[in-house]
Chains A and B, each alone.
Chain A
Amino acid sequence: MTNDLSWLLKFIVAAVVASAALAANAADPIKIGISITQSPPGSVVQGTQVKDGVEIVKDMVNKSGGVLGRPIELVYEDNQGIPEKGRAATEKLITRDKVVAVTGGHQSSVCLAEIEVAKRYNIPYVNTNCWADAVRTKGYPQVFNAPIYSSRVAESIAETIVKLGLKRVVAFCENTDYGIGQAKAIAEALKQKAPGIDYKYETLDRAGKDFTPAILPLRANPPDMVLMVMLPPPAYIVMNQLYEQGVAPTARTWLYDSSGLADYPDFWQNVKEAGKYMLNFALYHPQMKLPKLAQEVGQAYRQRTKNEPNRLIFQAADSLLFIVDAIKQAKTTDPAALIKTMANMKFEGTRGQFRIAKEPGARYQQMVDIPSVTYQITEVNQATGKTLLIEGPGMPLATAKLLKPAK
């Protein structure tokens, strides 16, 4: 090839590359990392719901022009619900995909591993559904918390127990940080509010298949309430076996769930009769008053999946909205700048208006105040909207309304 020709070719190649780079930069998407569970042993059901929530917000944001003139792009990694894989997934998102923020975390043990990575690289991490106090008490400035936290849940549940006038409560919790942490927090809260109540918790193996030996002792000596601090699938097995052995729910013993089991799409398929009369601590009920944004997101979710929305969808939506708002306010995608902006933000999401709390401890960088409700299931296969709302924001516990089974 002659000298001139080869120079011409080099010039053309350079021009093409340069213009491609320019074109790419113009619509260069903002990448946000989503680390969720997409395969077992973690909760795939939760992961799918988080994904739905953030996808809805992404579509809404991109439809109205994106942020700072750029579309947002969600990069997913599967952490399988395993802390070690969560660590690897977060590393991948930050080092390989160069995301500006990470969110989606929905299992406490995984969150705890992932925030270490976020801290190391100084990337903002928005916790979507990890309730464990430990995620907050570590005091990492990179971590912001959208869901409610365990000690707040414990206080709420303890109040309900006190108001119901119970004397003896047995809790079944799973052998994870969430389960044991929550059970212990409830013990603490009860000690403060009503030291006379007899409260015991029993730790069950998440991998177990038969919990009858743990349930049988309760047949002889039934407590006033059995409290569930477990997640599916073992939670369903426990509920079915509690029902099979006639321990709870009965006329003598309440069954109370603190983990939002009834929110799961596969709840009724797995428990059937065992779910009737169950009391639920929940963070969403269709009869709650929520901002217009919640209606929009809820509608979009119904169209997308033909299911009713639940708290997880709104938490996921709020997580992504929070990041988007921060980018808008900071006018940059630089992670360090985002962290500074987030620390002082006031934010309006699908669940209401929030500010970021500053006190060290369980409320560190927590969105406050998350509303909560208590409701009772009164029929098998009942939709959440038809359940009996017993307690909510602005509505004190109406014990008189509660139903009891015949035996």
Chain B
Amino acid sequence: MNRSQHRITTEFWWSLAFLAAIALVPLAVSNPYWLGVLIVSMYFALLAVGWNLLAGYTGQFSLAPACFAMIGAYTTGLLAYHLKVAPWLGIPAAIFVAAVIGMTLGRIVMRLRGPYLALTTLSFAEIMRLVIGNSYEFTRGDLGLNVPGLFEARLAYYYLFLAVLVAVQAGLYVLMRSKAGLYLQAIRDDEVAAASRGVDVVFWKTAAFTLSAAASGLAGALYGHFSQLVSPELGLLLQTGLVICMVVIGGIGSLIGPLVGAFLVYVSSEMLREVGGIQLIVFSLLVIIFARFFREGLWGLAKRVLQRRTA
């Protein structure tokens, strides 16, 4: 296998090791509050992984991941609230709706790049949030929608989220290891050159948008059933900002960076919150520093350390 595949495989195994460690945490920690923190970290990890596919690997810096999570959450939530649809049907429906809307958005922004793409996806996200928030007759607006839970035991949620995360990560690995992975990265590095080499840019960009939206929609639906309350809060630009922080700090464009970034940022933000609300200051500073000087993020730093050890 070539160098790119080798790198991706290494990252994948490391990410599995990380997730295995997460799987073992409940043996040491039984406090439902901290388990809840880890579950929300997994929600963010799903969003981060999905956004990384679109932005890190395909170079499309969409500002809408939180919006798709909100769409997924409201799909399953509204189905449950108005039509009493069971979550086991609601969640797949959420994935489907998010994917379709993601695909449409991807088509719409096909020719846009950089700040234009960012602005369009930002407007889209804000419009969706305002529409959902203002349709209070239907969605209960800012009040939030009450959504049924899935299990009684928090531990069940824990392992469900983890299983989904592992599945999505594995799927991403298979995708990036294949030819598709090369196509996407080619589009990121130089779209015009990729097209001239025969890469079907339209198809792959749309695919990236669709998959990313589907992952976010899934995350949102799961989160909705976990917190049993769905509100337009989910789609705030601030949440997208958090996801971007997580990916950049962890290491954008790597398979493991977003995962580690999500857990690190969210858990320490909960811990720092006790100290007094400086978590976002620290994280945004870190993002600026990493973006400015060290694009590979924490995973890049870790790799350097590892290489020095083994070299």
Contacts and interface: CB of A to CB of B under 8 A. Distances in A.
- Judged by CB atoms under 8 Å, the answer to whether A and B touch is yes
Interface of A: 39, 82-84, 87-88, 91-92, 95-96, 109, 112-113, 116, 175-177, 180, 205
Contacts of A95: 31-33
A84 B140 CA distance: 13
B233 interface: yes
A205 B144 CA distance: 16
B227 A83 contact: no
B97 to A, nearest CB: 21
Given A83-B143, A109-B143, A177-B143, A91 B36 contact: yes
A116 B229 contact: yes
Given A83-B229, A180-B136, A175 B142 contact: yes
Contacts of B136: 175, 177, 180
Contact of A113 (B33, B141, B144): B144
Given A39-B277, A84-B231, A96-B31, 13 more contacts: A82-B231, A84-B229, A84-B233, A92-B33, A95-B31, A109-B142, A112-B144, A113-B229, A116-B146, A116-B228, A116-B229, A175-B134, A175-B136
Given A91-B36, A92-B33, A175 B141 contact: yes
Interface of B: 31-33, 36, 134, 136, 140-144, 146, 227-229, 231, 233-234, 277
A110 to B, nearest CB: 9
Contacts of A180: 136
Contacts of A112: 143-144
Given A83-B229, A180-B136, A109 B144 contact: yes
14 contacts: A83-B143, A84-B233, A87-B229, A88-B227, A91-B32, A91-B33, A96-B33, A109-B144, A116-B228, A175-B141, A175-B142, A177-B140, A177-B141, A180-B136
Nearest to B32: A95
Given A113-B229, A116-B229, A180-B136, A83 B33 contact: no
A374 to B, nearest CB: 29
Contacts of B31: 95-96
A95 B36 CA distance: 11
Give me the 8 closest cross-chain CB pairs, A-B, nearest first: A96-B33, A83-B144, A109-B143, A95-B32, A177-B143, A87-B229, A84-B233, A84-B231
